[in-house]
Amino acid sequence: MSRKKTIFATIYHLCFIITILILETLLYCVAGHTLEISLQDPQITEEWIPSFSPFKITNGVKDLFSLTILAGEEPSEEEGSFVTDFNVDGMLFQVYRRPNNGYRYKISNPKAPESWCDLLSNEDFSEGTAIMRGENQLKHYSLNNFLMLMYGFSSATKETLLFHSSVIEKDGKGYLFLGKSGTGKSTHSRLWLENIPNTSLLNDDNPVIRVIDGKAFVYGSPWSGKTPCYKNRMVEIGGIVRLKQYPANIIEKQTGVKAYAALLPSISNMIWDKRVSHGISDTISSLATICQVYQLQCLPNAEAAELSYNTLTK
């Protein structure tokens, strides 16, 4: 081969490699942490994760995790040892410990168990591979949840929490409403929006919380449940309220261990994994000390919103 040809071939190959990198590796910055998604399943494009577009960046260095998305043809053989399983939204999550000490999260629909999606991660969730199978609905659900699992568990030791709650922004502060599924978190947010002036929704399901230099902040995220509200912004936390349905409106301050216990159920955890559970526990412990935490027993009415608003901002 002539020298000229060699140079052309080299340039051609370089261009090819660069094109692949540009086309297939996407960078996102969520709550100040950078993550990398590599799309290698030809079917799955950026359009599959529209809620991530406000968080897209062109330059940056990954500090949290990279996730590679592959099309799965055959069932993976590597099972690992079974740890636990649980049901969310009617979907079955099965957790296995892999021989390399990493995790395998398998998501399937119990009504159609013949296909499933797998997340294979390393021990600290800094690297993961998602293997996508089955119908598009299962793939969409799994991809979203794999990204949440990777985010929550890779950030566990970075004073960062994915926090199951609805957040209202008012005068530069964020107010978080927590509670068991169906308690009325979104309803309480709506009541603030309807009854308290100058309020807006920051996130309706899974914002990110960070403790930085002794202060607690809440960030919008690509995960907002049924409400499309994917805001790339942050505010300092003004207060946190755990909601409980009740035939009257009663608010009570929680401190110390009680505040900790009020926050604990709102964070996905792996209690058997010391790295993750101690990290999460330390961050919740800081939050319980920094933020005002209340329990609100309430009705779904305007008076409940006014009571929590007046108590938190007095």
Partner 1 sequence: MKEKKGFGLRNIAGQMVVVAQSAENINFGKVIAMNNSSAYLWEALEGKEFDAQTMADLLTQKYAVEAEKALADSQKLIEAWKNAGIIE
Binding site for partner 1 (CB under 8 A): 83-84, 86, 95, 256-257, 259-261, 264-265, 271-272, 274, 277-278, 281, 284-285, 288-289
Nearer to partner 1, 24 or 159 (CB): 159
Q: What sections of 58-103 are H helices per DSSP? A: none
Rounded to a whole number of angstroms, the minimum distance from the CB of residue 261 to partner 1 is 5
Are the CB atoms for 126 and 63 separated by under 8 Å? Answer: no
Rounded to a whole number of angstroms, the minimum distance from the CB of residue 55 to partner 1 is 31
Rounded to a whole number of angstroms, the minimum distance from the CB of residue 123 to partner 1 is 16
CA distance 174 to 56: 23
The shares of helix, strand and coil residues in the chain, as percent rounded to the nearest 5, are 30, 35, 30
CA distances from 68 to 27, 35, 147, 173, 239 (A): 12, 11, 11, 36, 37
Nearer to partner 1, 235 or 263 (CB): 263
Q: Which of 190, 192, 195, 220 is nearest to 205 (CA)?
A: 220
Could you give the angle at which helices 302-313 and 185-195 cross, rounded to 10 degrees?
A: 80
The alpha carbon of 35 is separated from its chain's Cα centroid by a whole number of angstroms, namely 12
Rounded to a whole number of angstroms, the minimum distance from the CB of residue 216 to partner 1 is 14
Nearer to partner 1, 12 or 272 (CB): 272
Rounded to a whole number of angstroms, the minimum distance from the CB of residue 301 to partner 1 is 28
Nearer to partner 1, 103 or 141 (CB): 103
Nearer to partner 1, 170 or 185 (CB): 185
197 C-beta neighbours (distance < 10 Å), count = 6
Nearer to partner 1, 20 or 88 (CB): 88
Rounded to a whole number of angstroms, the minimum distance from the CB of residue 103 to partner 1 is 12
